[in-house]
Amino acid sequence: MTYEPSADARKAIATFAHDGAIEKPLISIAGTRDPFITPELNALAYQRAISARRRARLHRLFLVEGGTHVDTFTAFGYGLRAQLPFAWAAFDRLVRTVEANDTAGTGKIVTVSSPSQLA
């Protein structure tokens, strides 16, 4: 059985749904091995929404190779990678982007395996 939201649920969701109409620079990260918030259904879908609104120049998406939703899952191995260091690096990059008013290289999706690649 597939969940189908009611009209009331759709109306409530519409009040806070992200439609891609960003107005300021945004840097996003998503783990390629995230079992809860998968890139295809979330980060890449949001990138498509931003592009559809012709705001891609303000957004840059970094896909963390092996990144998982819960950093402690990395203890199990399987090539999983903690995302917290990437989140710190993404924040630092966003600060530099905003302070320098530099949107060069935005609108791209880049797969990274080290936080230093966000520099």
18-74: pLDDT as tens digits: 889 998 889 999 999 999 999 999 999 999 999 999 999 899 999 999 999 999 999
Which pTM does this prediction carry? 0.83
Q: Is residue 67, in this structure, part of any structural domain at all?
A: yes
In the chain, the percentage of residues whose pLDDT exceeds 90 is 66
| SS3 label, residue 102 | coil
**Amino acid at position 23, single letter:** E
pLDDT of 80 strictly over 90 = yes
114 assigned to some structural domain: yes
In a domain, 68, yes or no: yes
Report residue 12's pLDDT band, with 50, 70 and 90 as the boundaries. confident
Domain region containing 59:
21-118
Q: Count the alpha carbons within 13 Å of 96 in the hemisphere toward its beta carbon.
A: 9
Check residue 105 and give its pLDDT.
Answer: 61
Strand arrangement, sheet containing 26-31: 26-31, 59-64, 109-112
Total tally of structural domains belonging to the chain = 1
- Domain contains 6: no
**Residue 104 forms part of a structural domain:** yes
Is there a domain that residue 107 lies in?
A: yes
- Tell me whether residue 15 is in a domain: no
7 within domain boundaries? no
Q: What is the mean pLDDT of the chain?
A: 90
Q: Given this model, what pLDDT does residue 64 score? A: 97
